[in-house]
Structure formats: structure tokens, C-alpha cells
């Protein structure tokens, strides 16, 4: 298997961004803005200072793939970004379910 083409890498980056969706906190908004500006240093700093935030972790990986799509390890970087995005999507879904079930069981009874 050969190295993915830069266009393929950027398409994969867009796919992961779609999974992440719109930011839900101020720090995530700042991180997405930083990502869009291409400021890898600041984005990695944000990710490093918010270790429990999967959204930021994913963007921290994605910035490497976006800015250097010809990296020899770009497939690994994309895989880590995708895993972090999946972790974020899982966490978001659990939170939504918690709120709905809480309302259904405790508030509406």
C-alpha cells in the first residue's frame, strides 16, 4: 500500500471534522478557530492543557495531517484523530442520553 495522496488526507480530515461537529464550549470554539488558522503550536498547547477533552485531542492530531499531509506517519495521525473524534461522539451521545433519561425518570414523573 502506498502513501495516501494529499487530497485523500485532506478529505479524511474533513470527514473527522464532520464527526466532531460544531464546538460546544468556548475552549473548543477557540481550538477550532486555531485549527482553521493553521496555528499548530497553539492548538497542541490547548490540547496538552485539556487532556480530558477528546474534541481538542482530535484537532491536535488533525492539524498535523492538515499541515503536513505528506508525513510518512500521516495514516497513524489520522487514525488517532479519528479515534479521538469517535471518543468525543460517544461522550456526547452518553451525555445526551443521560439528560433525556434523567428528565424522563426524575423530572417528568
Sign of CA dihedral 99, 100, 105, 108: positive
User: What is the per-residue pLDDT across 30-83, written as a single tens digit (0 to 9) for each?
Assistant: 999 999 999 999 999 999 999 999 999 999 999 999 999 999 999 999 999 999
* The predicted structure's pLDDT at residue 109: 60
pLDDT of 1 above 90 = no
Count CB atoms within 10 A of the CB of residue 72: 8
pLDDT at position 31 is: 98
pLDDT of residue 105: 87
pLDDT of residue 33: 98
Helices (DSSP H) in 38-73: which residue ranges? 40-48, 54-67
Amino acid at each position: 500500500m502506498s502513501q495516501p495522496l494529499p487530497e485523500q488526507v485532506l478529505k479524511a480530515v474533513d470527514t473527522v471534522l464532520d464527526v466532531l461537529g460544531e464546538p460546544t464550549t468556548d475552549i473548543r470554539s477557540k481550538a477550532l478557530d486555531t485549527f482553521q488558522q493553521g496555528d499548530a503550536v497553539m492548538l497542541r498547547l490547548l490540547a496538552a492543557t485539556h487532556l480530558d477533552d477528546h474534541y481538542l485531542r482530535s484537532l491536535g492530531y488533525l492539524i498535523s495531517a492538515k499541515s503536513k499531509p505528506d508525513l510518512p506517519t500521516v495514516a497513524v495521525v489520522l487514525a488517532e484523530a479519528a479515534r479521538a473524534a469517535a471518543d468525543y461522539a460517544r461522550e456526547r451521545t452518553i451525555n445526551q442520553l443521560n439528560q433525556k433519561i434523567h428528565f424522563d425518570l426524575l423530572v417528568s414523573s
